[in-house]
Each structure stands twice: as C-alpha cells, then as structure tokens.
Copies of this chain bind each other. A is one copy, B any other.
Amino acid sequence: MHLIAFGDRLAKAVQTRGNPVCVGLDPRLDQLPPGIRVDRSSPLEIQAKAFEKFCLEVIDATHWLVPVVKPQSAFFEELGPFGVLALGRICNYASAKGLIVIMDAKRNDIGTTATAYAKAYLGTNGQSAWGTDALTVSPYLGSDTLQPFVDQCNATCAGIFVLVKTSNPGSGFIQDLSIDSINSQTIAQRVADYVQSQSLLSATSETGYGCVGAVVGATYPEQLQAMRERMPNAWILIPGYGAQGGSASDVVHGMDANGLGAIVNSSRGIIFAYENPKYQSASNWQSAVENATLDMIEAIKTASGNRVT
C-alpha cells in the first residue's frame, strides 16, 4: 500500500472539497437533539449509544461537504469505557466515509510512554489501534517527548498538531510568557519554532507542508497571522471559530496564498445548529447541521476571496 504523506493528503482533501472546514464531534448530552437525547440518569452504555448515533448522523450530513472531522476524546471518556468504545466506532465510520480524522486528545508523556500514545492514534489502515490520521499533542513535557510522535508520523504518513496558542481566555498563563534567555521570545513562539523545524524536515516538494502541525486559536487573530509566517511549512489547526468568537476574517490569517495551511474547526456551531434560531426552519436537525456547514464554508470562501482551488 502506497501512502501519501499527511501534509499532502490534507492538502488534497482540502482541495477536493474546496474548503478547509473541520467538523468537531463534541457531543454533550444536554444538547443532543430530541429523539436522540437520553436522560442523564440513563446507564452510561445508553448515553454512549446516543453519542454514537448522533455523531454518525453528523458524519452522514457533512462527509460530502468537508475534508476533516475532529472527535473530542474528553466527551467520550466522560462516559467511561462505553464512551471510548463508541469513539472507536465513530472514528472507523468517519474514515470509511473518506474523511481525515484528527483525534483531539491533547496527549503526551515521556519516553516510551509517548511512543505508546503515538502508536495508539497515528496511522490509518491498521497501522494504529485507533486508525486515525492525526492527533493533537501537548508540548509541556519538552521537545524530547514530541519526537516519538514525529517519528511515528513519518513512519505511517500520519500527522500531529502541537498545542502552540490555544483559544481559551487564559491561554497566556504559560503560552504568552516571554523568556529571559531567548531574546524575549514567548513560550508559544519557542514551541512554534520546534513545529516549523520538524515540519520543514518532513515537508514534501508537492505542497511544502510537513506532518507536524500546530494548534493556534482563531480567537487571537494577530498571533495567528504571526504564527502563519513563523511556521511556513506547518499546517495550522484553528479552533475557536463560531461559538468561541472567531470569525471567517480571523481564520483567513492562518491560510497561505493558495488557501492551504489552515484547517478551521467548528464544533457546537455546526453539530448543535438546530438550537440556533437561524436554522430553526430546517426540516430536521440533520438539515440544520448541513445548512450551518454550508454557511461556514461560504463565509470562509468569501473572506478568503475564494482562495482554495
């Protein structure tokens, strides 16, 4: 089996769909549509089944529109082992539908423990237990702990997205601090430089993008623009669109001139669109999901001057 390197695979997927939208699969029991929602007092197995049914239907409604989905592991782990089983089936289903699957789990650990996480999630087609294309990874433990993930990406044509600047209000607690010894560079910049160096090493001549990406929130658009310039060979996964406040004009700062280099995630704004008055005329919640996805695609296309071709 000949696999295509992650950076190129992602570029091809974005170009095929003509947009960089990622649907975030963040099921929350209280927001599931009536008909799927179950009571919070239900056994965890029943709650997990509701999550699974919901996510599979979201995938059905969006897989022909977008290149990527990003399940959020936390919501499944909250339901214990039953939730994690459902997560596994959802990942398989998304892959079978041709979607690129980014496991959002923000994993890391030291030494061979990092290798275990890498082997868990990095690699499609039986190359890893979960069969997912990419994983979000935390850098706090140090660059030596990121290396096993990079090695696995190179071996299996998978990708990682290292947390650089996250979208939450308090992300500056560590990420924005400037370092005495490195010319007042911030922590986020230091991590970004590592990401860029590793992406450059794995960048292909076809697209110039490597397998090591970064997470940079839409909620800090100036930093997003600066990070795009600082990491020219790295894909950026951009959370924070929509519900968290990031706009289409904000996320365009993460794109290159060809409309590549950025994957823009929306979770609540798409999957719970049925709650939004704007979509309440939709015939059912699945149509609301579809309409919200189409609106997000259109907004990003317009803001970027139809850059993706």
Chain A residues with CB under 8 Å of chain B are: 26, 28, 44, 72, 74-75, 77-81, 83-85, 87-88, 104, 106-114, 116-117, 119-121, 129-130, 138-145, 163, 166-175, 177-182, 184, 187, 190-191, 194
CB distance from A138 to the nearest CB of B (A): 5
Q: Is the CB of A129 within 8 A of B44?
A: yes
Known: A28-B112, A84-B84, A110-B168. 9 other contacts (CB 8 A): A74-B117, A77-B120, A77-B121, A78-B129, A141-B166, A142-B174, A144-B173, A174-B174, A178-B179
Q: Are A72 and B163 also in contact (CB < 8 A) when A44-B129, A180-B180 are? A: no
Q: Is the CB of B142 within 8 A of A175?
A: yes
Q: Are A168 and B180 also in contact (CB < 8 A) when A28-B112, A117-B74, A174-B191 are? A: no
Q: Is the CB of A174 within 8 A of B138?
A: no
Q: Is the CB of A168 within 8 A of B139?
A: no
Q: Is the CB of B143 within 8 A of A170?
A: yes
Residues on the B chain within 8 Å of A120, using CB: 74, 77-80
Q: Which of B80, B88, B142, B180 contacts A166 (CB 8 A)?
A: B142
Q: Is the CB of A140 within 8 A of B113?
A: no
Q: Which of B108, B171, B175 contacts A106 (CB 8 A)?
A: B108
CB distance from A87 to the nearest CB of B (A): 8
Number of copies: 2
Q: Is the CB of A74 within 8 A of B109?
A: yes
Q: Is the CB of A173 within 8 A of B85?
A: no
Q: Is the CB of A182 within 8 A of B177?
A: yes
Q: Which of chain B's residues has its CB closest to A173's CB?
A: B142
Cα–Cα, bound, A194→B144 (Å): 25
Q: Are A109 and B106 also in contact (CB < 8 A) when A129-B83, A142-B174, A170-B142 are? A: yes
Cα–Cα, bound, A57→B191 (Å): 42
Q: Which of B81, B88, B130, B190 contacts A88 (CB 8 A)?
A: B81
Q: Is the CB of A78 within 8 A of B184?
A: no
21 contacts between A and B (CB under 8 A): A28-B112, A74-B107, A74-B114, A74-B116, A78-B116, A78-B120, A81-B84, A81-B87, A106-B108, A110-B168, A110-B171, A141-B163, A142-B174, A143-B173, A144-B173, A173-B190, A174-B174, A177-B177, A177-B181, A178-B181, A180-B180
Cα–Cα, bound, A104→B113 (Å): 11
CB distance from A146 to the nearest CB of B (A): 9
Q: Which of chain B's residues has its CB closest to A163's CB?
A: B140
Q: Is the CB of B84 within 8 A of A166?
A: no
Residues on the B chain within 8 Å of A174, using CB: 139-140, 142, 174, 187, 190-191
Closest CB pairs A-B (n = 6): A144-B170, A80-B129, A142-B170, A142-B173, A110-B168, A74-B116
